[in-house]
Structure 1
Amino acid sequence: MIQLERIGKRYGRGPWVLQDVDLSFEPGELTVFTGGNGSGKSTLLRIIAGVTAPSSGRVHGRPKSVGYLPERFPPGLRLSAEAYLRHLAAVRGVTPPTDLLDVLGFHGDPTAPISTLSKGNTQKVAVVQAFLATDLVVLDEPWTGLDTAASSVLSDLVSSSAATVLVTDHRGTARGLAGAREVVLQGRVGATGVAIELNRVSDLTTTVIGEWDGVRVVAATDGRLSLLVDATVSDRVLADALRLGCSVLSVRT
């Protein structure tokens, strides 16, 4: 059994994204995390998967074989889909997949660099690599970018997996799967305000922005920074972020 003991997370000296999270997951259980923007869903998944360390608390019982699918698959991978999946299968000590890409409807060149594939085909590779794990599969918005047929296949994979599966899904697909347990994350502040996503962000810049008044860091990965900002300071935050050399990917109210 995997147990979370008083898990908390903050970036730098910024506000807490998560605090005092106590949860447990039985072997083979399917858990769906829901909650508004800024409630800490992606952050919690990264902590459970071992990708991000918590600022406080501990994860007990994390198994050795863990598959993780981030909300945004790392760009620029030069390995081909075949080589990438073969390598990860060897690392995890399992048989390389031979047909799951085809079942998902992969139509690209499996020998081409992943960086050259379409978003949908890249997502299919990401799904396959996550399900190479035998004990724990952590999926952050896995249905994003998939066509209808591939989405159906993924639903079957999630519901039939013998591994413990943890998933976020803003579309609500996962909540309708048989046996799914829903965990609603409330976050430490209300998920209201302006959601801003920045690119070209260094670790130092993340710390600086996280200390600004009215700003809550939601996620920081691979040079990108997601913020939840009080509407009263959103214009100032955008202007200051641009002055720091960041680029703005999106602004949502």
Structure 2
Amino acid sequence: MIEFNDVGLRYGQGPEVLKDLNFKVEPGTFHFLTGPSGSGKTSLLRLLLLSLKPSRGRITMFGQDVTKLDQDRLLQMRRHIGIVFQEFRLLDHLTTYENVALPLRVLGQPESDYRENVEELLRWVGLGERMSAHPPLLSGGEKQRAAIARAVIARPELLLADEPTGNVDPELSERLVHLFAELNRSGTTIILATHELPLLDKFGYPRMVLRDGGVNIHG
């Protein structure tokens, strides 16, 4: 699904923040992305989200060299990718249901086609009783589960998660990773960035470790 060949990234004329990245991610796998603060985790996620192009090297995703694609084709490919941010990014004026359905509305699908799927997914993540609530009335864990549901409602092949457990307590962190694990078992490839060592040890998925601008995969 993903292959990096001699990829480097710099911002402007500054030094490379990522350098000589060479790795593969197979379809249907689950990887933790970890490393010291400032090691480049967010920059790597932005490359994977296709919102940045590398300064050098080749990135192949879904069988295509994305470094050679124009903006329209990149936007089309991005529909295969879901993203969960640490800060949720829910829209306060929309209900939980409306927030989760938003990606499908943007794609132009009629509500009659997706209502049942959205409601089923919200029940699956434990928000069946909160569909009509607005984000300010949700707890941190409920907001995060709504953000995860929104990220996967369009059934992405790849799901990226940027510190999704950073704003919740350890017990809820584990529950959220179990939720990602269920999504992975249904076929979604997942890369989850985290600095929480207990999660890494408890779940034992392979680790993509960023350090000094490079990456190594363990496990």
- The two structures share one fold, judged by TM-score above 0.5: yes
Aligned to 1:71: 86
For residue 141 of structure 1, report the CA deviation from its aligned partner.
Answer: 1.1
Partner of 2:156: 134
Please say if residues 90 and 99 of structure 2, whose CA atoms lie closer than 8 Å, have aligned partners that are also in contact: no
Bigger Rg over Cα: 1
- Cα gap change, 1:134 to 1:75, in 2 (>3 Å): closer
Aligned to 1:146: 168
| CA deviation string 1:193-222 (max 9, x = no partner) | xxxxxxxxxxxxxxxxxxxxxxxxxxxxxx
Task: Give 1:122 shift.
Answer: 2.3
Report the CA distance between 1:130 and its aligned residue: 2.2
- Which of 180, 183, 195 matches 2:208? 183
Structure-1 residue corresponding to 2:74: none
Does 2:34 match 1:8? no
Instruction: Tell me which residue corresponds to 2:181.
Output: 159
Alpha carbons of structure 1 residues 148 and 39: separation in structure 2 relative to 1, 3 Å: closer
Q: Kindly indicate whether the alpha-carbon contact (under 8 Å) linking 2:95 and 2:131 is maintained by their aligned counterparts in 1.
A: yes
How many residues are treated as equivalent by the alignment? 188
Give the corresponding residue for 2:142.
121
Report what 2:36 is aligned to.
36
Unaligned runs of 5+ in 1: 190-253
Structure 1 residues 52 and 114, CA gap change in structure 2 (3 angstroms): farther
Give, in angstroms, the shift of residue 169 of structure 1: 1.4
1:66 Cα offset (Å): 0.9
Q: 1:175 Cα shift?
A: 4.7
How far apart, in 2, do the equivalents of 1:187 and 1:76 lie? 37
Alpha-carbon spacing, 1:102–1:144, altered in 2? closer, same or farther (3 Å) = farther
Answer yes or no: is the 8 Å Cα contact 2:159–2:189 preserved in 1: yes
| Counterpart secondary structure, 2:39 | coil
Describe the shift of the 1:79–1:183 C-alpha distance in structure 2 as closer, same or farther (beyond 3 A). Answer: same
Residues of 2 paired with 1:118 and 1:104: CA distance? 14
Q: Matched residues, percent identical?
A: 28
CA displacement at 1:8 relative to structure 2? 2.2
Task: Give, as a single letter, the amino acid of the residue that structure 1 aligns with 2:132.
Answer: T
Instruction: Work out the CA distance in 1 between the residues paired with 2:136 and 2:21.
Output: 36
Residue 68 of structure 1 aligns to a residue in which SS? Answer: strand
Output the CA distance in 2 between the equivalents of 1:5 and 1:78: 43
Q: Which amino acid aligns with 2:188?
A: A
2:192 aligned counterpart, secondary structure: strand
Structure 1 position 38, deviation (Å):
0.8
Residue 193 of structure 2: aligned partner: 168
User: 1 CA distance for matches of 2:120 and 2:174?
Assistant: 16
Return closer, same or farther for 1:56/1:74 CA change in 2, 3 Å cut-off: farther
Cα distance, 1:116–1:159 mapped onto 2, change above 3 Å: closer
CA contact (8 A) 1:108 1:117 kept: no
- What CA distance in whole angstroms lies between the structure 2 residues aligned with 1:7 and 1:79? 40
Distance 2:127 2:168 in 1: 10
Deviation at 1:16, TM superposition (A): 1.9
